[in-house]
Amino acid sequence: MADIREYPRSAEGSNISKIVVDRDLCIAAVSCMAVAAETWELDDENKIVVTDANSVDDDTLIASAEACPTKAIFLYDTEGNQVFPK
Ligand code: SF4
C-alpha cells in the first residue's frame, strides 16, 4: 500500500490548505529542507515528514516542493485543487 501522508495547513493568507507527501517517492535528497528547513524533517525511516505546515509562505512552500527531484510533495488549495505539481 502506498505510504502517503496528508498534513492540513492553515497559515494566514495562504491559498494552500493541504500538503501531501508520497513517502514511497522520497529518497531523502533533502532539497525540500534546503528551501524550507522549518517545514520538514527526516524521520527514522529517512523519509520526509511535515513538522510545521504553516512555517513558510506559499511561494516558499511551492519552491520547496519544486526542489524535490522525485516530485514527492503535492500541494492543494482550499477547494481541493492540486496546486503543485501542475
Ligand atoms: S526533496 Fe523530495 S526526496 Fe528529498 S527529502 Fe524532500 S521529499 Fe524527500
The answer to whether 50 and 21 have CB atoms below 8 angstroms apart is yes
Query: CA-to-CA distance for 28 and 6, rounded, in angstroms?
Result: 18
Q: Where are the domains of the chain?
A: 4-84
42 pLDDT band (50/70/90 cuts)?
A: very high
Instruction: Indicate whether residue 32 lines ligand 1 (CB < 6 A).
Output: yes
Domain 4-84 has CATH 3.40.50.720: no
Closest to 6 in 3D by CA, of 67, 16, 30, 69 = 16
Q: What is the pLDDT of residue 64?
A: 98
- Contacts with 80 (C-beta within 8 Å, 6 or more apart), sequence order: 18
Instruction: Indicate whether residue 26 lines ligand 1 (CB < 6 A).
Output: yes
Q: What is the pLDDT of residue 78?
A: 93
Instruction: Indicate whether residue 31 lines ligand 1 (CB < 6 A).
Output: yes
Instruction: Indicate whether residue 70 lines ligand 1 (CB < 6 A).
Output: yes
66 pLDDT band (50/70/90 cuts)?
A: very high
- Residue nearest atom 1 in ligand 1 by C-alpha distance: 68
